[in-house]
Amino acid sequence: MKVSELKARAAIDEITLEIVSKAEPRQWANENGSGKVCNCAGKDSTGEISVSLWNDQCDQVEEGNKIKITGGWCSEFRGQLQVSTGKQGNLEVLKK
């Protein structure tokens, strides 16, 4: 799958992205628990998209990495599409 094919509220079988920027992780907490989240920008040959990294993923991924998300999810936040592994997906760092 490519960035240009992504749609909000849709499953992602597999997507490979290069991380072009990474924000500082921040802590979150609500009635369901707490953890860490980090926003990144990822790109492929068709465009750029926001990538949300959760908890341990924040420490695994650096700018310049290529990542592969399988079984992920595309959502929309404040009018912008973003991808993440969701609850069931997997993130793999392909190279540093």
Q: Which of 32, 9, 15 is nearest to 66 (CA)?
A: 15
The stretch 22-49 carries a mean pLDDT of 95
pLDDT per residue as tens digits for the range 56-73: 999 999 999 999 999 999
Distance (Å, whole) CA 32 – CA 90 = 21
Q: Where are the domains of the chain?
A: 3-95
Q: What is the pLDDT of residue 96?
A: 61
Summarised one tens digit per residue, pLDDT across range 16-32 is 999 999 999 999 999 98
d(Cα 61, Cα 8) in Å, to the nearest integer?
24
CATH of 3-95, one of 3.40.50.720, 2.60.40.1150, 3.40.50.2000, 2.40.50.140: 2.40.50.140
pLDDT digit string, tens, across residues 69-81: 999 999 998 999 9
Mean pLDDT across the stretch 31-55? 95
CA distance 58 to 56: 5
CA pair distance 49, 17, nearest whole angstrom: 9
